[in-house]
């Protein structure tokens, strides 16, 4: 998949090879809502296959493929025909043929079309059926089964349409220097219609300017990709959430949708509000087992104690994201409507604890260190939310969090001559799994409270310093980002989802957490590695990539099963870059604190078009790491 040119405008998707010809092989094709509407679209000009010159992305939802043709009407080796194909995720393709010849030409142009109308899951598993027989349709071809229909229409209409061969033909007259265009449109309807627009954009038009121009490219691409992954909630089409990723998971994955919305809070609270409303509608109600939980899809991720289900992570994330969205400026009416769902999540947390006072994921199962960190953050930010909304119970949740902190330090921290480390997990019988993993970065992600304060974490200052040293050492910092498992641990695999590969969003969590804890050197090292990797991947980071150690002249290796773009990877770029400014808003109190990172690891940087308290917010960071607010909402005061 890493070699494919992918265009996405959810729920539409186009997967093309670099040469642009859809040959029907593998996963190539035009998709809508998980159905392949077109698998083959092969162009021939003057009886010849165009020679590919370049394939490149023009944005998240479209790509261009340039080729040439030598017809032989002119002497010499130079091509006399240029071909450009601009393909959109929504199934629209514009083919432009341009003549470089010195004499008029009459060119036959053919487009060979076909499809199997297969589901994406069947295509990915190699179980797609044979191509279907085509039928002639007004200005193109159509294919149908009992479950699905696809139509490809052309403008101008073809001179010939041969259903048996799936072929459309034109005769184009071109004078010297002239061009002609053909537009193909593939839909699920018998009547061609204008392509459906994307959901209303809840993300601000943010800009980055500074000494390192790559920051602007990374931020722009991250926002475009996250926007392209937005899907409407069928139950309430006005609400949008970020789909997990392309091509394998173009749908709702609650924890990842919440992570993306949380990391995008500096671009406005609209995505977080819509995502929270979507998840609240699916929350388990009643008083039985699981009441209050946000259900999540089952997933498998290898033998290294992966979560069996995203439900726990999403349920713990719900009150935390709502609390932080309120601090960024989510209107109090919206907070009030979502507060009952957040309270149900907290009630579930209390009921789901094991007899040892720790939280398993799934139950019965291991007590993972990041799950305890998520639970601790949910309790503290939940208490802050209850206090801010005048609800009872905040003091009890703070006491609960303090008790969890004591249990964690007693049970999870493994002392050693090197300063010790947190266990990756506890087995159900209480034995620690003494592996160092990237999940430990979540121990640094404490969350935002009122007055621009950060919530306390599970670790004390000395242990936080030790964890920072571990995460910044070569065993964990690959030079391209944070490994999901240290190199010397048993079972390390540089391609392993949880056993070694770099996970983009976990690396961004580490960058922000280290910076907030004052460990700027380690944060800067991971940030530069992420930015360098983003550049290699055309600023579209995959959700994970192999964690081979960086050496002179090397490049990060793609992971063959990674989604790209992926919501959490796109949001990671936003999170890592905005972490440089250290923006800590408290919209209910009309204050904002700005604490830029010391040393300015990317030099001078200006972030414009952010949103705090619902209004534009622009901050500039000097080369000395001094921050200056250039634009802010009226009445918003700078805090400490």
Give the model confidence (pLDDT) of 206-220 as tens digits.
Answer: 999 999 999 999 999
Tokens of 394: 């905040």
Residue 471: helix, strand or coil by DSSP? helix
- Is 483 a residue whose pLDDT tops 60? yes
User: By CB neighbour count within 10 A (0-12 exposed, 13-18 middle, 19+ buried), where does 183 fall?
Assistant: middle
Please state the pTM of the whole predicted model: 0.93
Of residues 7, 525, 448, 55, the one with CA closest to residue 457 = 448
The residue written with tokens 């809508």 in the block is 32
Q: Can you tell me the mean pLDDT for 2-8? A: 90
**148 close to 117: Cβ distance less than 8 angstroms:** yes
- Is 322 a residue whose pLDDT tops 90? yes
Which DSSP letter does residue 137 get? E
**558 close to 546: Cβ distance less than 8 angstroms:** yes
CA 420/CA 408 separation, integer angstroms: 14
Give per-residue pLDDT as tens, 364-397: 789 999 999 999 999 999 999 999 999 999 999 9
DSSP element (H, E) containing 275: helix 270-281
Q: What percent of the chain has pLDDT over 90?
A: 84
DSSP element (H, E) containing 466: helix 461-472
Secondary structure of 390-433 as H, E, C letters: CCCCHHHHHHHHHHHHHHHHHHCEECCCCCCEECCEECCCCCEE
Q: Can you tell me the mean pLDDT for 581-588? A: 96
Residues near 473 by beta carbon (within 8 Å), at least 6 away in sequence = none
Give per-residue pLDDT as tens, 394-451: 999 999 999 999 999 999 999 999 899 999 999 989 999 999 999 999 999 999 999 8
């Amino acid at each position: 998949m890493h070699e494919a040119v992918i265009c996405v405008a959810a729920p539409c998707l186009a997967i093309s090879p670099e040469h642009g010809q859809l040959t029907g092989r593998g996963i190539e094709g035009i998709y809508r809502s998980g159905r392949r509407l077109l698998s083959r679209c092969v162009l021939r000009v003057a009886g010849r296959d165009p020679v590919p010159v370049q394939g490149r992305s023009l944005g998240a939802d479209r790509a261009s493929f340039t080729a040439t043709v030598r017809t032989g009407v002119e002497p010499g080796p130079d091509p006399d025909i240029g071909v450009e194909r601009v393909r959109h995720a929504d199934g629209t393709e514009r083919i432009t043929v341009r003549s470089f010849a010195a004499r008029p030409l009459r060119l036959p142009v053919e487009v060979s079309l076909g499809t199997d109308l297969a589901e994406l899951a069947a295509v990915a598993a190699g179980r797609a059926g044979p191509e279907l027989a085509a039928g002639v349709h007004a200005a193109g071809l159509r294919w149908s089964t009992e479950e699905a229909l696809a139509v490809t229409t052309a403008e101008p209409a073809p001179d010939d349409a041969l259903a048996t061969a799936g072929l459309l033909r034109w005769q184009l007259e071109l004078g010297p220097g002239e061009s002609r265009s053909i537009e193909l449109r593939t839909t699920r309807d018998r009547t061609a219609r204008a392509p459906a627009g994307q959901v209303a954009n809840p993300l601000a038009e943010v800009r980055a300017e500074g000494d390192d121009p790559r920051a602007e490219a990374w931020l722009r691409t991250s926002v475009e990709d996250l926007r392209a992954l937005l899907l409407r909630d069928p139950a309430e089409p006005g609400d949008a959430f970020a789909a997990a990723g392309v091509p394998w998971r173009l749908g709702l994955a609650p924890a990842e949708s919440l992570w993306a919305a949380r990391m995008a809070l500096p671009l406005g609270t609209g995505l977080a509000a819509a995502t929270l409303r979507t998840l609240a509608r699916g929350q388990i109600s009643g008083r039985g087992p699981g009441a209050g939980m946000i259900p999540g899809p089952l997933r498998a991720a290898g033998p290294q104690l992966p979560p069996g289900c995203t439900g726990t992570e999403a349920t713990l994330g719900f009150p935390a994201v709502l609390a932080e969205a309120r601090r960024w400026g989510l209107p109090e009416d919206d907070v009030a409507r979502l507060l009952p769902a957040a309270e149900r999540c907290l009630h579930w947390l209390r009921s789901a604890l094991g007899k040892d006072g720790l939280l398993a994921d799934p139950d019965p199962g291991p007590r993972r260190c990041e799950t305890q960190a998520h639970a601790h953050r949910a309790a503290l930010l939940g208490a802050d939310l209850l206090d801010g909304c005048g609800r009872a119970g905040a003091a009890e949740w703070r006491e609960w969090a303090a008790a969890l902190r004591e249990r964690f330090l007693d049970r999870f921290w493994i002392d050693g001559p090197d300063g010790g480390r947190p266990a990756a997990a506890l087995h159900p019988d209480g034995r620690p799994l003494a592996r160092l993993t990237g999940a430990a970065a979540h121990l640094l992600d404490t969350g935002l409270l009122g007055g621009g304060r950060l919530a306390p974490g599970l670790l004390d200052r000395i242990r936080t310093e030790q964890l920072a040293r571990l995460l910044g050492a070569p065993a964990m910092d690959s030079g391209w980002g944070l490994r999901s498992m240290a190199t010397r641990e048993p079972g390390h695999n540089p391609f392993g989802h949880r056993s070694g590969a770099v996970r983009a969003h976990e690396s961004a969590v580490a960058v922000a957490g280290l910076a907030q804890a004052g460990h700027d050197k380690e944060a800067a090292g991971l940030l530069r590695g992420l930015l360098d990797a983003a550049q290699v991947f055309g600023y579209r980071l995959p959700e994970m990539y192999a964690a081979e150690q960086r050496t002179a002249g090397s490049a990060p290796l793609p992971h063959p099963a990674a989604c790209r773009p992926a919501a959490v990877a796109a949001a990671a770029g936003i999170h890592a870059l905005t972490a440089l400014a250290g923006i800590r808003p408290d919209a209910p109190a009309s204050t904002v604190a700005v604490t830029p990172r010391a040393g300015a690891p990317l030099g001078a940087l200006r972030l414009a078009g952010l949103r705090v308290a619902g209004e534009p917010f622009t901050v500039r960071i000097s080369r000395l790491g001094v921050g200056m607010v250039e634009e802010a909402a009226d009445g918003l005061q700078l805090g400490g």
